[in-house]
Structure 1
Amino acid sequence: MLCTTSYTAARAGDRDQAQAMIREAGKAARKLPQQAPPGRLFPTTSAAVGLFEVGVRWALGDAGAALKAGRALSADQFSTAERKGRMHTDLGCAWWQWGKPEQTAHELLCALRPARLAGRGP
């Protein structure tokens, strides 16, 4: 809930609210396990909160902070193709915002891989 509220505030331009909420989410995430226990309705992990922070930071126009937040993330921390792809597209947005087209292209190409694999089915 804190992550969604933070991202919504960032997209609405409410910097103070967005930053306060993502800080609170980060504090709460420190208490979470690395892997969500099976059967959880909302399997939130510290990596999921980190991914929201990337989105919040680039939505606020702070590409450097978004990339710093994404530094500890890797696609294998996420169980779905959608989250893996989102990680790469959000990082791509941050690189683009920072004026780095090569890094942007790299992230967007990386986002294609999980989508292609998910599209193949079992």
Structure 2
Amino acid sequence: MATDQLSRTFAALSDPTRRAILAMLSQGEATVNDIAAPFEMSLPAISKHLQVLERAALISRGRDAQWRPARLNAVTLAPAADWIDGYRRFWDRSFDALDDQLTSEEKGTTND
């Protein structure tokens, strides 16, 4: 069972339905019925997805009379974005080095 926040975040993001729910909530808060509308699944199934997102702290659920609207907690995505960004920087450096190497070879010189 994932115990650290980054693991919970990536586990929650591993499902395409949950990613779609987060995309929907990026437009504003929504009720379970609103969230379920575009999906071909039961309300209990949507509720289970919401529970996973809530445990990962990617969403929060309020109370408005009998409704429990869900809203995105985008700030909790920052550590995952930072983790991924480290690899983006690695690949940028790697491609820059490859580009330098290829440019040198085109000119007939090497950087050995």
Q: Structure 1 or 2: larger helix share?
A: 1
Structure-2-length-normalised TM-score: 0.27
Over alpha carbons, which structure has the higher Rg?
Answer: 2
Give the number of the structure with larger relative contact order, counting CA–CA contacts within 8 Å between residues 6 or more apart.
2
Structure-1-length-normalised TM-score: 0.25
